[in-house]
């Protein structure tokens, strides 16, 4: 390693409210999470660096456990980095944790699993507190049927029926978990769909949720899900569920990678 090479690799775990972002990665049409992080890093260290994010989230999608890394020569200690970034970052982004990562750690390439949660409110009365963070479906949903409808996704499958637009490369992914349960938020029992996989295709979770909602509404049967999955035809699946109900919850790495 040359004397001019970065000597440290800093890992970051990040939370953000995606409402007012055009997405997690740099874009020319508005503010992104990556831009906010890189601007804050430059202000803290006086050094412009590219911050690598583990997963790409679309406009309106939130994160509880986005992971990033940045290679740097800064002399700031970890506590100063975390506190300093949080003092500079806008109110809709926060660094929850920072650590000294191995020099070769890459937040995106080393990830072996990503977990997402999608939140749905099927109460007949809208909650003003939840409207930007939970998708409202004002009709009773059969969550037992929705839970059954998620079972065919478990394992290794071709998810071409649930990808947005044209996709270069394989559409085969391995889904480790797919559950549907109720959880309490501000005294309201909202529906949480949790999915974990080695990787996700563009809009894959939202397209799956949009299809599973049809089962919850009684418009599709549980058996239809396997047929749609096997069809590899996007037109067979349901609509893309809105972005604001989706959360990147966590990213998992081999213990020796971090």
**Is 6:98 a contact under the CB 8 Å cutoff?**
no
What is the number of other CB atoms lying within 10 angstroms of the CB of residue 172?
A: 13
Which of 67, 234, 75, 214 has its CA nearest to residue 139?
214
How crowded is the C-beta side of 257, counted as CA atoms within 13 Å?
A: 13
Catalytic site residue from 17, 58, 110, 115 = 58
What does 173-186 look like in DSSP terms, one character per residue? EEEEEEEEEEEEET
Helix residue ranges per DSSP H, the chain: 33-45, 78-88, 143-150, 204-216, 222-231
Helix axes 143-150, 204-216, angle to 10 degrees: 140
Please confirm, yes or no, whether 58 is among the known catalytic residues. Answer: yes
Looking at residue 178, what DSSP letter applies?
E
Which of 131, 132, 146 has its CA nearest to residue 193?
146
The alpha carbon of residue 7 and the mean position of all alpha carbons in its chain are separated, in whole angstroms, by 30
> Which two tokens mark 120?
């749905």
- Cite the active site residues: 58
């Amino acid at each position: 390693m040359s004397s001019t090479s970065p000597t440290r690799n800093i890992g970051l775990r990040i939370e953000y409210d995606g409402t007012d972002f055009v997405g997690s990665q740099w874009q020319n049409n508005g503010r992104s999470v990556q831009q906010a992080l890189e601007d804050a890093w430059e202000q803290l260290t006086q050094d412009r660096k590219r911050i690598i994010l583990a997963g790409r989230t679309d406009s309106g999608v939130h994160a509880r456990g986005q992971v990033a890394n940045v290679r740097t020569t800064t002399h700031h200690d970890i506590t100063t980095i975390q506190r300093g970034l949080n003092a500079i970052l806008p109110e809709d982004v926060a660094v929850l944790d920072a650590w000294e990562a191995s020099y070769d750690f890459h937040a995106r390439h080393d990830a072996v699993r990503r977990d997402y949660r999608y939140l749905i409110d099927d109460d007949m009365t809208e909650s003003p507190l939840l409207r930007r963070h939970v998708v409202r479906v004002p009709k009773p949903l059969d969550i037992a049927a929705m839970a059954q409808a998620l079972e065919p996704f478990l394992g290794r499958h071709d998810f071409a029926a649930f990808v947005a637009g044209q996709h270069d490369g394989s559409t085969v992914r391995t889904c480790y978990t797919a559950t549907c349960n109720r959880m309490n938020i501000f005294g309201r029992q909202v529906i949480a769909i949790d999915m974990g996989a080695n990787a996700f295709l563009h809009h894959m979770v939202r397209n799956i949720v949009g299809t599973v909602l049809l089962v919850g509404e009684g418009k599709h049967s549980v058996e239809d899900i396997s047929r749609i999955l096997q069809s590899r035809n996007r037109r067979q699946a349901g609509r893309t569920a809105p972005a604001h109900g989706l959360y990147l919850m966590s990213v998992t790495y081999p213990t020796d990678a971090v």
